[in-house]
Each structure stands twice: as C-alpha cells, then as structure tokens.
Amino acid sequence: MVASTLDARDEFGTQKVNDQNYTNKHMNQIFGDGFSFSGFEKDKIWLKLDDQYLDVSDISGADDDGDGRALCVADFDDDGDPEFFVHNIQRERHMLYRNDIDRGARGVKVQLKATKGPWQAPGAIVRVSAGGRTTAQLMTIGTGFVSQNAAELIFGLGDAADGTVTVRWPGRAVESFGTVKAGGKVLLVEGAGKPAALPRKPYRLRDPGVPGLKFAEGASLANLELVDAAGKTVQLAVAGRKKPLIVNLWATYCASCVGEMGDLAKLAAAGHDVVLVSLDAEEDFGRAQELLKKMGIKLPNYFATSKGFEKQLDPERLPLPTTLFFAPDGTLTEALQTTIDHWNGWSKAIGGQ
C-alpha cells in the first residue's frame, strides 16, 4: 500500500488511507477475496547437499503461493526429522508439510531444562559430535515472525551410531553429557551430567488429500448436487449404478479441458458413463453450453455451484482438468489431475482406438 494524504471513498465510506479502521477493513477484503500481498509468489525450500543447496520447492510440493507469513518447525510425527507448519495470510490457510526426504536418516533429539534462570534455557548452545564432525545449534525462544519452533533441537548423525553432547548454558561453563545413541530422544538437565531418556511415540501423519477436493480417494458418495442446463438443481446418483461413473471437472477458460473433449467423447462411445461438470461462473453457463454444442459434444453436462457440489471442492486449489473415477457403489477410486490421455487405463478403456 502506498501512503497518501488523499481521502479514499469505497464501500467502507470516506476514510483517510492511513486510517487504521480503513486499513484493517481493506486488508480483510484483500485477503478474503484471495488476493496476495506478494503477488502469488511461491514459497521456497532448499536442501543442503555437501557445500551447496538444491532448490526442491516444486518436487517437494512446498511451492505454495498462499503468501506464507509464519513458519513453525517441529517433529510433529516424532519420527526424528522436522516438519514445516506454515500459516498463510491469504484465506488464512494452514499447511503442514510432512518430511519424507530420507526415512533412513539417523539423528538424536535434544530437550533442555535449566535449573538456573528460565527453564527452557534460551541462549544455550548445544554441540553434538559424530563421525568426525561437530554441529552446533542455539536454543531460541521466538524463532520467527509471529511463530515459535518447538523447544527441541534435532541433530543428524549421518552414518554414526552415536554422538557426544555438550551444552554451554546461558552465561555459564560448558557441561558434557557424554554419549547419546542414534535414534534417541533425551532431556539434558543442567547439572545432571548425563542425558535422561525420553519416550518416543512416532506415528504416521496422514497422506495429503487430492488438491482441491474435500473428500479423499476411498471416500464414498451417494450423489452429487448439481445444476442442469435449464438451471434446475438435480441429484446425480453416484452410488447404486450398474457400472463405474467418470466425472470430468472442466471450464471454458481451461484450454486443456476444451482440448480433451474429443477424448472424453471416445470414452463414452466405448461404453463408459462419462459426465461433464463445468466450474464456470453462473453467468457463463450459456457460453459453456454453446461451446459443447459447437464442438458436437453430446455428453451429459451439468454445472457446479456454491450451493451444491462446490461444498465438496476447493476451487482455488483445484487444477483443471480433474477427472474423478467412481466405482458402482460410489467409492472414489481415482482422481486424475491432468488430461484423460494420461490415465493409466486410457488405452484399454477405448479399446485401442
């Protein structure tokens, strides 16, 4: 926002641009409408390999454009490696990135308890030596913008079976805690001179769902509430069918969606139940119908609205085209988020056409 002394008139009334009431309402509208201060700039993550850093933003799935403002690093699944919890200011979405880079890595987790001064020992320096190398970390409180990492330090040990630990307590001498084994989780109490073992309770964080869907693969649906060409609300049966149902989510503004209409028609001609569901805005329903007519596409087609199917979608995250495959009992067996010709069953489905 550019500072100005001019009056601004908008839906909030006439206000000074630098007036706090105006600013708060204006910012709420910006973020509520899904706009971003950073211009939808994607988040970045780098992996250190020897003496260089590798940009793994895209392949890790962490390249979100939701305008991340706070980052909390913690071992949420207690498996020995850190995960990232990101707070996005845009639409106030939260993202938890599970760390699966190297499940075979060895390490040790360290917690501190000071007996003099603040018990979490902010400012303490912990050093772990293993395999001929020493790594140091600082225990800090308030590690980022409106965020705080877990008060726990994670040290990688490489191929070493154990490592030696020393702590320089805030303003005091260095204390040795001897050897800790790889895979351990220990509490270092000031003055104890040896580590106290802490129990670990690792568990598997659930796999991420399909981007843009509010139901996961394996979920069962009875029907989909849609709108037909006449603007009438209908319940499209998903369960209780004689054969599987293929639902293609598309929009007129999606070139790939329009380009694959011929392939979807081939699927229908081969005997498959194919239904089109447009995510175009309500005022564009007529244009979508006209486009299908012009292309000679005679597949059953419907529209998704905020009152119906979109309750099960997150349109802001849904890539188009997306094709959903439902078993006769209504179970979602697969979600394909690219053109239908990339489907593993494509050639077989059309009989080698």
Superfamily of chain region 106-197: Immunoglobulins (2.60.40.10)
Q: Calculate mean pLDDT across residues 300-327.
A: 86
186-190, 208-212, 290-294, 338-342: which range is least confident on average?
A: 208-212
Predicted pLDDT of residue 193: 94
Q: d(Cα 116, Cα 171) in Å, to the nearest integer?
A: 10
With cut-offs at 50, 70 and 90, classify the pLDDT of residue 1.
very low
Helices (H) and strands (E) in the chain, counts: 6, 22
Domain boundaries, the chain: 106-197, 223-349
Q: Calculate mean pLDDT across residues 175-193.
A: 94
The string of pLDDT tens digits covering residues 241-250 is 999 999 999 9
Q: Calculate mean pLDDT across residues 174-180.
A: 95
The identity of residue 97, as a single letter, is Y
Predicted pLDDT of residue 261: 97
25-29, 139-143, 168-172, 266-270: which range is least confident on average?
A: 25-29
For 110, the token pair is 């360290």
Which class in CATH covers the domain with range 223-349? alpha beta
Q: d(Cα 16, Cα 1) in Å, to the nearest integer?
A: 13
Q: Calculate mean pLDDT across residues 172-181.
A: 92
The overall average pLDDT reported for the chain is 86
Q: d(Cα 254, Cα 338) in Å, to the nearest integer?
A: 12
**145: how many CB neighbours lie within 10 A of its CB?**
10
Task: Reply yes or no on whether the pLDDT at 122 is more than 70.
Answer: yes
For 195, the token pair is 């580590």
| Long-range contacts formed by 278-283: CB under 8 A, 24+ apart | 278/250, 278/251, 278/252, 278/302, 278/303, 278/304, 279/249, 279/250, 279/251, 279/303, 279/304, 279/310, 279/313, 279/315, 279/318, 279/320, 280/251, 280/252, 280/253
Task: Reply yes or no on whether the pLDDT at 23 is more than 80.
Answer: no
Task: Reply yes or no on whether the pLDDT at 126 is more than 80.
Answer: yes
For 168, the token pair is 């320089």
The string of pLDDT tens digits covering residues 58-107 is 878 788 777 788 899 999 999 888 999 998 876 667 888 888 876 556 78
DSSP assignment letter at 150: -
Residues β-bridged to residue 136 = 127
Q: d(Cα 149, Cα 183) in Å, to the nearest integer?
A: 21
Predicted pLDDT of residue 35: 66
With cut-offs at 50, 70 and 90, classify the pLDDT of residue 49.
confident
Q: Calculate mean pLDDT across residues 180-186.
A: 93
Q: Calculate mean pLDDT across residues 162-189.
A: 93
276 compared with 58, residue with greater pLDDT:
276
353, 270 in Cβ contact below 8 A?
yes
Q: Calculate mean pLDDT across residues 28-40.
A: 66
Q: Calculate mean pLDDT across residues 324-340.
A: 95
Task: Reply yes or no on whether the pLDDT at 4 is more than 80.
Answer: no
Q: Are strands 125-130 and 83-88 parallel, antiparallel or unpaired?
A: unpaired
Predicted pLDDT of residue 2: 35
The string of pLDDT tens digits covering residues 224-272 is 999 998 889 999 999 999 999 999 999 999 999 999 999 999 999 999 9
Predicted pLDDT of residue 5: 40
Across 122-198, the runs of DSSP E, i.e. the strands, are 125-130, 133-138, 153-158, 162-168, 174-181, 185-189, 196-197
Predicted pLDDT of residue 229: 85
Task: Reply yes or no on whether the pLDDT at 133 is more than 50.
Answer: yes
